[in-house]
Chain A
């Protein structure tokens, strides 16, 4: 009874303080909104609407068709029409265009010969992401040629093939739930507790009958709710703005999020037992945040990483959550399908809580 009353006292206090801390409160809403919009729109592996130039030395029906087809992919916009290859290269050097397309005078003849390239692409290789387009457009040109007999059908095929934008957002947004929670949960808890120490409240608190575990539970409970609110914000934006299909059940999604939130909060508490100041808490948070982003499979495919990096990644809660959330949202996996990941997160939670409770001393020395 007293146990619950003391936890309740901490929870009430935390909520009151949170409600009055406009900056933190703003971050609770602001960080997820900003990140999802940034990641959703800006961090886009599919490059589109690049400025391009064209030299059409053939000027036949087929060459004009090709130019139209390339334009229709939306990968490039032809903003420059040059008279010679030299003129095209000149404009590229000036930075006016990133891609140049050269249609040779014998285009129609080349088109009929599968062993020769029909046209030439000039790529500004100074940006590697633009260089990647060479590959995309080369494949496309091949399609145009192969379906030359039935042109219009072939062109539509190309468009479909080169509209992969949807896919990357669908990949990113669910995992983004984990990335955002990972940052905010760890940061909020560690900062919230360290602030208490910095302001001298802790010296008063530890001379009261409150127990370690009560203090810890009381501290993290409000943030569990905040975490679930953040999940809802990211989901809502993802669904409304980016048309993310949620194949699996919402209940599973929230259950998985809950387990992950518990794991990240316990990490925040563990960090707090090492950090003396809010600044140190922030440093330690980012120290764990960067490996999480890089090694979790959020940015790079997990299976493609070297074994040591995979091994490290498996220690991080985000890795397991990215696996779970992609499974639920994209593949329609159920919570029970994701037993190993759930277990990994629960073990992480138990270990970090134990570390935090054991390391937290109601002493000053």
Chain B
């Protein structure tokens, strides 16, 4: 089992006082894949990641990371994992090169390996031109690349990345993800948390967290296919009035506006969903075109999180 999975967690729970940050989460994260934690702020993503790398002690539950029990063997794990914090955590007052040298020394790389690995990563993450520049003066995207260069210096088998791209422009995010795919191709397992749908969609597998509970998990495409709702696309010139009308109906679980379009999710058992919604809108005197559409990841997210929080449709 531990050969197929980089991380296996069962019943993972963490309480801070009366607040349950992570609640009985079960995880199986396959090797050499990019696994995403998708969830809003405060959903327990960071707490879960910190428990997985031994920074926080779970209140309950079993965790096995790369075949080692955490937090008991957390120290043995240090050489084999890389953890990238949400906030840039290298030294602002050291240069790019000095930061990398520091990390390489801390991980015990010998002189020759230090030189080659730092050289490789400077080139790979396009940092060679900034080697002498203080890290504090880099742009958000450059800092991100430096953090990734530092965390991969010792060649970790598992990378834990806590919202690595939340402070980065879209182009830098694309570059960053190209880097992640390359690492996964080389056999690195990557656990990445995000609150961006487009990033979540790039993951091989995904877990959706909401208020500390794992509400859905699987391959993004499967999650969309297996969504427990019918998703309807409504094109209309009066999206706000249409939305108000639809939300009156008990079988409509959630309506999301996308410009002049609406995504409505209705109970999966509903007969003639298109006809019923079209009828409602026609009766209200609204011009609209209703059709069934495949669920997007956002729909999955809304279905998984929104229903639990809503009136209980």
How big is the B interface, by class? 20 to 34
Complex alpha-carbon distance, A9 and B74, angstroms = 22
Residue of A5, A204, A210 most packed against chain B (CB within 10 A): A204
Complex alpha-carbon distance, A204 and B50, angstroms = 11
Complex alpha-carbon distance, A223 and B53, angstroms = 32
B102 and A364 contact, CB distance less than 8 A: no
B51 vs chain A, min Cβ distance (A): 10
Complex alpha-carbon distance, A5 and B102, angstroms = 10
Q: What B residues does A201 contact at CB under 8 A?
A: 89-91
Q: What A residues does B94 contact at CB under 8 A?
A: 13, 16-17
Interface residues of B in 77-113 (CB under 8 A from A): 78-79, 81-83, 85, 87-94, 98, 101-103, 105-108
CB-CB under 8 A for A208 and B85, given A13-B94, A17-B93: no
CB-CB under 8 A for A208 and B56, given A13-B94, A17-B94: no
B89 and A204 contact, CB distance less than 8 A: yes
Complex alpha-carbon distance, A9 and B54, angstroms = 23
Complex alpha-carbon distance, A200 and B75, angstroms = 20
B90 and A204 contact, CB distance less than 8 A: yes
A304 vs chain B, min Cβ distance (A): 48
User: Binary interface profile of B, 57-83, with partner A (CB < 8 Å = 1, else 0)?
Assistant: 100000000000001001100110111
CB-CB under 8 A for A207 and B83, given A8-B105, A20-B93: yes
Complex alpha-carbon distance, A6 and B108, angstroms = 7
Q: What A residues does B98 contact at CB under 8 A?
A: 13, 16
Complex alpha-carbon distance, A9 and B107, angstroms = 10
A363 and B55 contact, CB distance less than 8 A: yes
Q: What A residues does B92 contact at CB under 8 A?
A: 199
Q: What B residues does A21 contact at CB under 8 A?
A: 93
Closest to B147 in A: A204
Partner of B105, one of A5, A17, A199, A205: A5
Closest to A9 in B: B105
B105 and A203 contact, CB distance less than 8 A: no
B106 and A209 contact, CB distance less than 8 A: yes
CB-CB under 8 A for A209 and B107, given A12-B102, A17-B93, A200-B89: yes
Closest to B50 in A: A364
B114 vs chain A, min Cβ distance (A): 10
A260 vs chain B, min Cβ distance (A): 29
Q: What A residues does B108 contact at CB under 8 A?
A: 2, 5-6, 209
B56 and A364 contact, CB distance less than 8 A: yes
A363 and B57 contact, CB distance less than 8 A: yes
A127 lies within 8 A of chain B by Cβ = no
A58 lies within 8 A of chain B by Cβ = no
A206 lies within 8 A of chain B by Cβ = yes
A208 and B103 contact, CB distance less than 8 A: yes
Query: 11 A-B residue contacts at CB 8 Å?
Result: A6-B106, A13-B91, A13-B98, A201-B91, A203-B55, A207-B78, A208-B106, A362-B75, A363-B56, A363-B71, A364-B50
